[in-house]
Structure 1
């Protein structure tokens, strides 16, 4: 079946982001399961996470900053190659920023008294 629809699934163009997402999920699951095991139970793990919330918040802000800098460099190159794609990328950028803000707000709400 070499139709145009299936031909876009050959190669790493589509599969690389999926592989990265699955790897991130696997690492997060291993970290949480390892934390529950080391802390000898879920309540102790949850208490530790609550106690270290601000350290991990600072870590996430650093990661978001590095990802933003990388995206801005990539975006500049992308827009040189395809100048008409600016509006499509702008919508995706807004969606990602809103998702991150909502995620951080929900974490803060549950941490700070929700």
Structure 2
């Protein structure tokens, strides 16, 4: 068995942490949906409740996006101070993030219409 590359070994812990967070978020979403179905006494009523409150969820997402937008300049500046050559990577991340948000919101609005 060959020893792991030091770069791979250094990335193992953050990747496991990210995987753990994703698994926890998945189970939290599953529990929230099952609880909603139980409290609404059925899937159809749960779907109707979600549809009735879609505007509230949209406002919540807008607040989330606004808070991320407010914090991003600080995080970007900090990253560029630490790694000045990462400006291109950050630009790519910004473009992909905005694209993902636009696609996600567009799919929500197309579902409503």
TM-score calculated relative to the size of structure 2 = 0.85
Q: Who is 2:5 aligned against?
A: 3
Q: Who is 1:18 aligned against?
A: 19
Query: Is it true that 1:58 corresponds to 2:67 in the alignment?
Result: no
- The worse-fitting range, judged by mean Cα deviation, of 2-11 and 95-104 is 2-11
Higher RCO, 1 vs 2 (CA within 8 Å, ≥6 residues apart): 1
Stretches (4+) displaced over 6 A: none
Unaligned runs of 5+ in 2: none
Q: Who is 1:85 aligned against?
A: 86
CA positional deviation for 1:55: 0.5
Q: Who is 2:45 aligned against?
A: 44
CA distance in structure 1 between the partners assigned to 2:19 and 2:65 by the alignment: 20
CA positional deviation for 1:10: 4.2
- The worse-fitting range, judged by mean Cα deviation, of 98-107 and 61-70 is 61-70
TM-score calculated relative to the size of structure 1 = 0.85
| Cα-to-partner distance string for 1:12-70 (whole Å, 9 max, x where unaligned) | x3333333332222222211111111111111011111111101100111112222323
Unaligned runs of 5+ in 1: none
Asked if structure 2 preserves the Cα contact closer than 8 Å seen for 1:8 and 1:14, the reply is no
Aligned residues: 111
Q: Who is 1:109 aligned against?
A: 110
